[in-house]
């Protein structure tokens, strides 16, 4: 009897240990990643700082090799008025396909007039073409038409016209080769609009056509090192091609005038990397580096009956340098902490010149140099409140945050107008809070409003308008697959 009891106790201990090991394996190794933009935002993390903590979903758009671990899941989220979603499907052993819609485009390039934008201009530029003046398309305009040519012509230089808000489609693929993960992605999005009016009796017509698009491709690799200190190295190459083609046309009294504003070989090419170091059983350190070459050059022109009468060339060249470090700590089985900082430096040089000019004095170049410096400091905390519920809290403080919209200190240097800009915006802080709940194969992420008692009705979001919300739903299907390295 005693022998049987002893055997039962040993068996029970073995069973308890095996059960505990299986549960631990499920939650720390085999459970698919279920992160979203909404989840990362609860820690104060955005697309640019997702490298600071493992398992942050936005990082896959910088390095598609990190998609391993998201297999067998589909998600949808409404984040900052943007609807986006995607699906992760294992198509063969070790290979995962991801298809996404609505992922965020480069808003600095298209939707602003900042120094990095294709729409940046200066009123001091001698080569500038004033598209808000209807006379640039010939003598007068169609005065009593449904299409106001002055407003429509201004649209071709207006960054707020026909915003390119989201990519329409992004396709991503990753392959697990053991210690080596490979990944690649392609994405394309566009926005277009056209307004026109035709006076058939007099054969007069005016039209404005707006088009902008962004093509993006990324190739990434993550290599797990067999080293007691260096855990892994991640690297990626990112290429963005921008196409801007905005035109205004008018035919009046058998004279055809055409004005346009377009990209002139604009693209970004960047190399980014991250090294992860082990700091014992309870933590790891991420080291970050990156360089991106920026070309946002554009061209404006006016022709009459096919003959060029005025042309402006806008060469915009920049360099983006990024260096950062982050530390993740496991304080307990239910509590995690991370902090990180990144130095971001972006010098930009703009040269405006006239390709064809009606007045000789307009040949004088306009030269502007500017730079942007940012130094964000992030602190995030995660806590498992219950078996299915976890909370996130984040603080983001911009130690340095420079502006990039203003030009000053104008002087004439050897017939060239030279300006510089060195204005700094005041540093500021923001607080984020998020909650997630798992219900079987479903996961729900919510971005809280930390100013709930102050803002009242905006209780579902930290945003500033009552229609905004930040939430996400993820559904896991099929067999669980190993977490990516």
Measured in whole angstroms, the distance separating CA 30 from the mean position of its chain's CA atoms is 29
Reading the block at residue 126, the tokens are 């001698």
Share of the chain above pLDDT 90, in %: 35
**Residue 184: per-residue pLDDT:** 97
Select from 381, 285, 384 the least CA-distant residue to 27: 384
d(Cα 116, Cα 109) in Å, to the nearest integer? 6
**Residue 475: per-residue pLDDT:** 93
Measured in whole angstroms, the distance separating CA 337 from the mean position of its chain's CA atoms is 25
Most confident of 256-265, 292-301, 350-359: 292-301
- Domain map of the chain by residue range? 31-476
d(Cα 212, Cα 159) in Å, to the nearest integer? 11
pLDDT digits (tens, 9 = 90+) for 8-49: 554 455 444 444 333 333 333 334 466 788 899 889 898 889
**Residue 8: per-residue pLDDT:** 54
pLDDT digits (tens, 9 = 90+) for 103-159: 877 778 888 888 888 988 766 666 666 665 545 554 444 444 444 555 556 678 777
Q: Of residues 383 and 412, which shows the higher confidence score?
A: 383
Among 42-46, 344-348, 420-424, the range scoring the smallest mean pLDDT is 420-424
Reading the block at residue 450, the tokens are 């930390």
**Residue 28: per-residue pLDDT:** 35
Q: Are 313 and 319 in contact (CB under 8 A)?
A: no
Residue 390: pLDDT band (50, 70, 90) is: very high
**φ and ψ at residue 16, rounded to 5 degrees:** -65, -45
Q: CB burial class (10 A; 0-12, 13-18, 19+) of residue 43?
A: buried
**φ and ψ at residue 9, rounded to 5 degrees:** -65, -45
The neighbour count for residue 241, using CB atoms within 10 Å, is: 16
**Residue 360: per-residue pLDDT:** 55
The mean per-residue pLDDT over the stretch 55-61 comes to: 91
Q: Of residues 163 and 66, which shows the higher confidence score?
A: 66
**Residue 449: per-residue pLDDT:** 67
Q: What is the pTM of this model?
A: 0.82
Among 155-159, 171-175, 352-356, 465-469, the range scoring the smallest mean pLDDT is 465-469
- Direct distance between the N- and C-terminal alpha carbons of the chain, in angstroms, rounded to an integer: 49
Q: Where are the beta strands (DSSP E) in 20-162?
A: 73-79, 82-92, 95-101
pLDDT digits (tens, 9 = 90+) for 425-448: 556 788 888 899 999 899 999 887
Share of the chain above pLDDT 70, in %: 72
**Residue 454: per-residue pLDDT:** 53
Domain with residues 31-476, CATH architecture: Beta Barrel (2.40)
């Amino acid at each position: 009897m005693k022998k049987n009891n002893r055997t039962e106790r040993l068996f029970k201990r073995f069973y308890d240990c095996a059960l505990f090991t299986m549960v631990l394996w499920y939650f720390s190794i085999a459970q698919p990643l279920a992160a979203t933009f909404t989840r990362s935002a609860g820690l104060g993390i955005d697309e640019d700082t997702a490298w600071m903590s493992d398992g942050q979903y936005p990082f896959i758009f910088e390095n598609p090799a990190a998609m391993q671990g998201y297999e067998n899941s589909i998600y949808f989220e409404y984040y900052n008025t943007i609807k986006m979603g995607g699906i992760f499907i294992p198509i063969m052993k070790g290979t995962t396909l991801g298809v996404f819609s609505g992922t965020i485009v480069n808003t600095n390039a298209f939707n602003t007039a900042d120094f990095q934008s294709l729409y940046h201009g200066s009123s001091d530029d001698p080569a500038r073409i004033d598209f808000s003046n209807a006379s640039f398309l010939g003598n007068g305009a169609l005065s009593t038409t449904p299409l106001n040519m002055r407003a429509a012509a201004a649209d071709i230089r207006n960054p707020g016209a026909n915003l390119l808000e989201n990519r329409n489609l992004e396709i991503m693929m990753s392959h697990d080769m053991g210690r080596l993960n490979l990944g690649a992605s392609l994405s394309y999005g566009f926005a277009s609009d056209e307004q026109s009016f035709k006076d058939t009796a007099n054969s007069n017509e005016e039209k404005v056509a707006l088009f902008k698009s962004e093509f993006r491709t990324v190739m990434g690799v993550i290599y797990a090192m067999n080293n007691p200190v260096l855990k892994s190295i991640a690297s990626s190459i990112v290429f963005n091609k921008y196409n801007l083609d905005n035109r205004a046309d008018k035919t009046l009294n058998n004279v055809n005038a055409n004005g346009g504003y377009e990209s002139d070989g604009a693209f970004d090419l960047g190399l980014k990397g991250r090294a992860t170091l082990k700091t014992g059983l309870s933590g790891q350190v991420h080291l970050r580096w990156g360089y991106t070459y920026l070309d946002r050059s554009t061209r404006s022109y006016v022709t009459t009956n096919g003959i060029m009468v005025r042309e402006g060339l806008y060469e915009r060249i920049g360099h983006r340098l990024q260096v950062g470090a982050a530390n993740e700590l496991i304080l307990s089985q239910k509590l995690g902490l991370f902090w990180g900082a990144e130095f971001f430096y972006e010098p930009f040089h703009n040269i405006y010149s006239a390709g064809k000019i009606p007045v000789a004095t307009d040949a004088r170049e306009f030269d502007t140099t500017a730079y942007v410096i940012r130094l964000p400091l992030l602190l995030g905390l995660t806590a498992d409140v219950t078996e299915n519920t976890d909370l996130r809290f984040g603080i983001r403080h911009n130690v340095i945050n420079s502006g990039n919209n203003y030009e000053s200190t104008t002087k004439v240097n050897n017939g060239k107008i030279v300006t510089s800009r060195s204005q700094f915006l005041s540093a500021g802080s923001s607080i984020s809070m998020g909650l997630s709940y798992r219900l079987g194969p479903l996961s729900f992420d919510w971005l809280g409003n930390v100013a709930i008692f102050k803002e009242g009705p905006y209780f579902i979001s930290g945003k500033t308008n009552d229609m905004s919300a930040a939430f996400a739903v993820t559904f896991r299907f099929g067999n669980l697959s190993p977490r990516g390295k």
